Structures are given as structure tokens and as C-alpha cells.
Chains A and B, each alone.
Chain A
Amino acid sequence: MALTTADVARLAELARIALTPEELERLAPQLDVILDAVASVSEVATADTEPMSHALPLTNVFRDDVVTPSLPAAAVLAGAPSVEDGRFRVPRILGEGA
């Protein structure tokens, strides 16, 4: 299957990665090669192979509903680029046009 630059542009938009037209042209064929390589797995999988989402045949891994200590707020906020009033400060969410 051929990945188009339009497909890559859409993926880039969803992933919030800004790409120039030149980058799209260059990346589309590269990603296509990777997808082809991964797709070869489907040639190995036969009809009687169940699709799987997990590597281990486990179910029902639960924990008891018990409160354990959280991180101190100071430690949580230490890595934030900007903090105000004990909260993470984030840039304007909606652009001017919103």
C-alpha cells in the first residue's frame, strides 16, 4: 500500500507535528517502507492465529482499592515549565480565531 503525502499530513496534524511540504515528500516514502516491513507480519500469521493485543496470556490483574501516598506537590510541579497557584500553567488553549 502506498502512503500518500496527504496521509502523512493528516497524521502529522493529529500528532501535532508541524511538517513542511518538503518534509512530507521525503517522509512519506520512508514511512511507507516501514509499514511494508511491518505488514510482512501478516504473511506469517495464518488464518488460525488469533489477533492479540498483549504479549502475555494474562487476564484480571487487579489491585485492591487502597490509597497509597502520592507525590508531594512540589515534586510534581518541579518539572513544569511554568507554575502558578500550585497549578501547571499552560499557554492559551484556543487561538485568536476561536
Chain B
Amino acid sequence: MDDLLTYDAVLARFDPVLGLEVHVELNTASKMFCGCDNTPGGEPNTTTCPVCLGLPGSLPVVNAHAVESAIRIGLALNCQVAPWCRFARKNYFYPDMTKDFQTSQYDEPICFDGWVDVEVEGETFRIEIERVHMEEDAGKLSHVGGGTGRIVGAEYSLVDYNRAGTPLMEIVTRPVRGLGAKAPAVGRAYMAMLRDLMRALGVSDARMEAGNMRCDANVSLMPTGTAELGTRTETKNVNSLRSVEAALTYEMRRQGAILAEGGRVVQETRHWHEDGEYTSPGRNKEQAEDYRYFPEPDLVPIAPDPAWVEELRASLPELPARRRARLQEAWGFSDLEMRDVLGNEGSLDLIEATVAAGAPPAAARKWWLGELARRANEAGVELGAVGVTPEQVAQVQGLVDAGTVNDKLARSVFDGVLAGEGSPEEVVASRGLAVVSDDGALGEAVDAAIAANPDVADKIRAGKVQAAGALIGAVMKQMKGKADAARVRELLLERLS
């Protein structure tokens, strides 16, 4: 295993510099240069044609929708849109591409020079975007033999070209400095922001776990007080927001240990291991990359009509940062409350949907960030996958507001909903969870509690009203928590005044 410096020791001596390259799969109907279906996950090799298989004599034609998506992404990231640009061939030999080249963009990206702000714990960081370019994805390899399913030790590999030629956007940042201890968190926040942005634009499903969004995380360390950039490493296979943060932290600590010993960081591609939470060197030989880029002769240049670009700019949807500000105001959340919401993956959408289903914003926030966040955490799933829908949460809150259940019983209602026992109302009925506010039943329990605790009753009679809590507790216990506590208090005081 690698030597690691403690995180604090790294920061005491070095400033991290980040660079993030993010690939986003577009959700167009068809592929980038041919009409094959772009829906992922079909039977192997069922969505291919002469173009995406690179058969001789085939001619690619650019998908207009993909160009539109690329421009919209660029505009949302405050980029310039190139008045004229071309595709290029990136030559390489690997069985994931039959053509022996990937159609990409080289020195003429469609969008460039942008920026975006991300927020971490109330602090705003500006990330400069170097470029957004269009390219095609490659086929999928599965490695057979060797036991681990990995390329090392494999006897042979199997290739499915369904993904070959599907539209892919690459979004590249300029080096980001001055982040200090928050560098890994900023990397994560940037990915989360991009994901939300892609969804708001509707250009990608942007699910990292499904590979719709993939991050190559570059980091280097600069000795504090100097301006000399350190040697960077590029970590691949970072497939979740949490992993972005963890992989960057790991690389900072690993590089820190090397530099602290007077060693040199090797510029290389590294591979993130989700299970063991470490990086290892990629097996690419150190041979410098030589892709022999040249302009793609089969595709004519793209020159976006400025009027079209302005039309796309004007029709951009509400972007995440603006939406957050609007919702915070509408819901009346404090900055701190909003920070909690944003710090809880997915909770903003869930709260919004719960409010739309009729719940008060504060109650929606309470359930999602409290009870349901706890359950998601225990189950090790994302909040949205906890098994309760926003509509159900609104229904439970409706039952609370109507006095049918109290907060404690509401938790049992969630138990029932999660166990598949039906809607919240059905669970209340089948589990008998409704609060008892019927004076007859409550009165009996109150009388019993007074009889069982004569000392306490005397105190209350003598004017010590705060002692009522003990008797209310006794009643609640007897009623298995299903009593209307406010009514119990009233009945007690009536009898003891």
C-alpha cells in the first residue's frame, strides 16, 4: 500500500491544484453520426450500423440535436461558442473502436472560456471552464478469464459496440487553485453542480453510477508560498460524487507523502478502487500519447448561426443556482437550513416534490433531512431510493396536521409504507395507528394514571402544573403512544384543578 501523509500535514506544506475532465453521455434519440438507437442497455451489438462500426465506404453525418445540446451546455457554463469549428480524428488502436480512431474535437472545441460557481459550506468558488467539446463514445469491453473480470490476467475480451458512436461531451476545467482544505469537497460540489445542470438542461440523465457522467480527476501539489506547479496525476474510474472527494483526498495524501520524503510524483493515469478506497497506477506504458490528430475529412465544419445561438441562450431553462435561490425564498428557509438541504444529496428535489404534493416546506424538510435521511443512511442508499415517495411524505404530514397521528406514530406509518403495506392511510388503518382523542377512552386512561400515582396527582392539585408531564407520560405508555398528548393534558388538569 502507498504511504500517506495525514491530510493536515499535506495542507501545512502544500496547496492542491485541481483539474477535472468530465464526460457526459447525451440522451439524444440516435447516435452522434448515425441513426442507430442511443438507448443504452440493449442486447449486445444490436444497435450498430456501417457508420458506427467504421465499415469502409460509410459516411458519418452529425446529429443536429447533439450540436444543440453541446451549445446549450456551453452557454449554461458561460462559455463562448466557436463561430466555426471542426471534428478531428484521434487515432489509437484498441478494440473498443473498430475504426482505430475516435471522432472528437481537438484544437477547435465548439465551446470554450467559460466559468461556473460552486458553493461549499457557504463559501463560493469559481471554476473556470477551458472547453466543452463533442466526441463519440467507444464500445464496451468485458474481460474473460483471470477470475477478476479485469483486463490484467484476462485470457481474451468480448466487445459490444452498442455504445460505439454515441454522443459524448467532454467538459474540461482550467487548473483550479486556492482551494486549500476544501479542494476535494469543491471537486465533488462541481460534479454535483454539473449533474444538476445536465438534468436541468435535459441533455443527459447524468447518473454517475450508470456511467452517464464520468470524471477524470487531476490533482497536483504546489509547495505553499511558491508558484511552481507540481506534477499531476489523473485518476479514472471515479464513479460517484463521494468517490470524487475520496479519490482527490487520497491522491493529495499519497503525493504529499512522496514529496515530503523528497521524492518525485510520477505523471501518470491512476485507477480508483471503490472497494478499497485507494488509487493504483494505470497500466498505460509511459510512452507519450501520440494520437496524430487531424481534421476529420468526412465531416464538414460546423459554423453555428449566431441567431440560433442567441435563440438557444434565450431559451435556457432556469439553472440550478437560480432555482435554489428561488426555492429558498419561497420556502422561507434560513441560509443554514438551505445549506443542510444542499448538503443532503437529492433532498432539494424531494422537498420540492413533497411541497408540490401539499406539505408545508418546513415539514417536508424535517421528514427528508431527519427520519428519512436516517433510514437512507442506515440502508446505505441515496435519499431518493429510501422507498418512500414525496407524495407519501405529504400524505403522512397531512395525517399529522389532521391530528390523526403524532410525529412518533408517523414513524410507524413510514415503517408500514416501507414494508409495502400500502398508502399511509392504509397503514394507519391496518396497524391501528390513529391517535386516540376520544374522551371516553382517554378519560379512563387518565383516571388510571391518577390512581396509580397519587403523590404526583397531589402535587398537581397543589399547583405544580409542571408535574403533569409524568402523568401524561404514564397515559401515553398505557395507550402505547397513541394518545393525543394535548388532549390528555387538558383532561388531567380538568380533573386535578
Q: Is B382 part of the binding interface, using a Cβ–Cβ cutoff of 8 Å? A: no
Q: Is B65 part of the binding interface, using a Cβ–Cβ cutoff of 8 Å? A: yes
In contact, B30 and A67 (Cβ under 8 angstroms): yes
In A27-78, the 8 Å CB interface with B consists of 53-54, 56, 58-73, 76-77
Give the distance in Å from the alpha carbon of A72 to the alpha carbon of B49 in the complex. Answer: 9
In contact, B301 and A59 (Cβ under 8 angstroms): yes
Contact of B37 (CB < 8 Å), options: A63, A70, A76, A90: A70
List the A side residues contacting B44 at CB < 8 Å.
73, 85-87
Shortest distance from the beta carbon of A2 to any chain B beta carbon, whole Å = 20
In B23-49, the 8 Å CB interface with A consists of 28-30, 34-38, 43-49
Q: Is A1 part of the binding interface, using a Cβ–Cβ cutoff of 8 Å? A: no
Closest to A59 in B: B303
Shortest distance from the beta carbon of A57 to any chain B beta carbon, whole Å = 9
Q: Is A91 part of the binding interface, using a Cβ–Cβ cutoff of 8 Å? A: yes
Write the B1-37 contact mask toward A (1 if CB under 8 angstroms, else 0): 0000000000000000000000000001110001111
A58-B300, A66-B29 given; A94·B151 CB < 8 A: yes
Q: Is B444 part of the binding interface, using a Cβ–Cβ cutoff of 8 Å? A: no
List the B side residues contacting A71 at CB < 8 Å.
48-50, 53
Give the distance in Å from the alpha carbon of A87 to the alpha carbon of B162 in the complex. Answer: 10
A85-B44, A87-B45, A93-B151 given; A63·B35 CB < 8 A: yes
In contact, A67 and B35 (Cβ under 8 angstroms): yes
List the B side residues contacting A54 at CB < 8 Å.
295, 297, 300-301
Give the distance in Å from the alpha carbon of A68 to the alpha carbon of B62 in the complex. Answer: 14
Give the distance in Å from the alpha carbon of A58 to the alpha carbon of B61 in the complex. Answer: 13
Q: Is B95 part of the binding interface, using a Cβ–Cβ cutoff of 8 Å? A: yes
- Of A14, A58, A72, A87, the most chain B CB neighbours within 10 A belong to A87
Contact of A62 (CB < 8 Å), options: B35, B45, B64, B144: B64
In B267-299, the 8 Å CB interface with A consists of 283, 290, 292, 294-295, 297, 299
Give the distance in Å from the alpha carbon of A89 to the alpha carbon of B156 in the complex. Answer: 7
List the B side residues contacting A89 at CB < 8 Å.
156-159
In contact, A64 and B64 (Cβ under 8 angstroms): yes
List the B side residues contacting A68 at CB < 8 Å.
30, 34-36, 49
Closest to B34 in A: A68
Q: Is B160 part of the binding interface, using a Cβ–Cβ cutoff of 8 Å? A: yes
Shortest distance from the beta carbon of B72 to any chain A beta carbon, whole Å = 14
A54-B297, A65-B65, A65-B66 given; A60·B303 CB < 8 A: yes
Write the B50-68 contact mask toward A (1 if CB under 8 angstroms, else 0): 1001000000011111110
- Of A14, A64, A70, the most chain B CB neighbours within 10 A belong to A70
Give the distance in Å from the alpha carbon of A40 to the alpha carbon of B150 in the complex. Answer: 50
In contact, A53 and B158 (Cβ under 8 angstroms): no
A54-B297, A54-B301, A58-B300 given; A67·B155 CB < 8 A: no
Q: Is A98 part of the binding interface, using a Cβ–Cβ cutoff of 8 Å? A: yes
A63-B35, A64-B64, A87-B158 given; A53·B295 CB < 8 A: yes
List the B side residues contacting A61 at CB < 8 Å.
61-62, 299-300
- Total interface residues on B, CB under 8 Å, equals 57
Shortest distance from the beta carbon of B342 to any chain A beta carbon, whole Å = 34
In B237-268, the 8 Å CB interface with A consists of none
In contact, B45 and A94 (Cβ under 8 angstroms): no
Give the distance in Å from the alpha carbon of A66 to the alpha carbon of B28 in the complex. Answer: 9
- Of B36, B142, B300, the most chain A CB neighbours within 10 A belong to B300
In contact, B62 and A63 (Cβ under 8 angstroms): yes
Give the distance in Å from the alpha carbon of A89 to the alpha carbon of B303 in the complex. Answer: 41
Shortest distance from the beta carbon of A66 to any chain B beta carbon, whole Å = 6
In contact, B156 and A92 (Cβ under 8 angstroms): yes
Give the distance in Å from the alpha carbon of A14 to the alpha carbon of B290 in the complex. Answer: 8
Contact of B62 (CB < 8 Å), options: A62, A77, A98: A62
Closest to A68 in B: B35
In contact, A94 and B283 (Cβ under 8 angstroms): yes
Shortest distance from the beta carbon of B473 to any chain A beta carbon, whole Å = 65
Q: Is B331 part of the binding interface, using a Cβ–Cβ cutoff of 8 Å? A: no
Write the B76-101 contact mask toward A (1 if CB under 8 angstroms, else 0): 00000000101000010111000000
In contact, B300 and A16 (Cβ under 8 angstroms): no
Q: Is A22 part of the binding interface, using a Cβ–Cβ cutoff of 8 Å? A: no
List the A side residues contacting B50 at CB < 8 Å.
71
Closest to A14 in B: B290
In contact, B30 and A53 (Cβ under 8 angstroms): no
In contact, A88 and B67 (Cβ under 8 angstroms): no
In contact, A88 and B159 (Cβ under 8 angstroms): yes
Closest to A88 in B: B159
In contact, B61 and A63 (Cβ under 8 angstroms): yes
Give the distance in Å from the alpha carbon of A92 to the alpha carbon of B150 in the complex. Answer: 11
Give the distance in Å from the alpha carbon of A73 to the alpha carbon of B154 in the complex. Answer: 25
Write the B148-168 contact mask toward A (1 if CB under 8 angstroms, else 0): 000110111111110000000
In contact, A62 and B63 (Cβ under 8 angstroms): yes
List the B side residues contacting A16 at CB < 8 Å.
93
In contact, A76 and B53 (Cβ under 8 angstroms): yes
B→A interface (CB under 8 Å) = 28-30, 34-38, 43-50, 53, 61-67, 84, 86, 91, 93-95, 141-144, 151-152, 154-161, 283, 290, 292, 294-295, 297, 299-305
5 example contacts (A-B, Cβ-Cβ < 8 A) are as follows: A14-B290, A16-B93, A67-B29, A71-B48, A94-B283
Report the 3 A-B pairs with minimum CB-CB distance, sorted nearest first.
Answer: A68-B35, A65-B65, A53-B295
A→B interface (CB under 8 Å) = 14, 16, 53-54, 56, 58-73, 76-77, 84-94, 98
